[in-house]
Amino acid sequence: MPIVVNLDVMMAKRRVSSGELASKIGLSQANLSILKTGKARAVRFSTLDAICEALECQPGDILEYNSTNKGAD
């Protein structure tokens, strides 16, 4: 998939653990893990909004388009 999720990078920059972020945004750790590993097929704007607010970042800091990843599902 050409969309790369850099959530783990942003969390490391902000020194926020998975448990802490999951608690702040009201998401289970399991669902956050699915999102972090790029296995999620969709993300709600409300979830993206909550993540950006909690990490004080922009959606582009978390999601990246990489055309060289096309077909690599």
Query: What is the secondary structure of 30-64 as a DSSP string?
Result: HHHHHHHTT--S---HHHHHHHHHHHT--HHHHEE
- pLDDT on residue 58: 97
Cα–Cα distance for residue pair 62/43, rounded to 1 Å: 12
Kindly give the parts of the chain with pLDDT less than 50. none
- pLDDT on residue 68: 84
In contact, 6 and 62? CB cutoff 8 Å: yes
Secondary structure letter of residue 10 according to DSSP: H
In contact, 10 and 57? CB cutoff 8 Å: yes
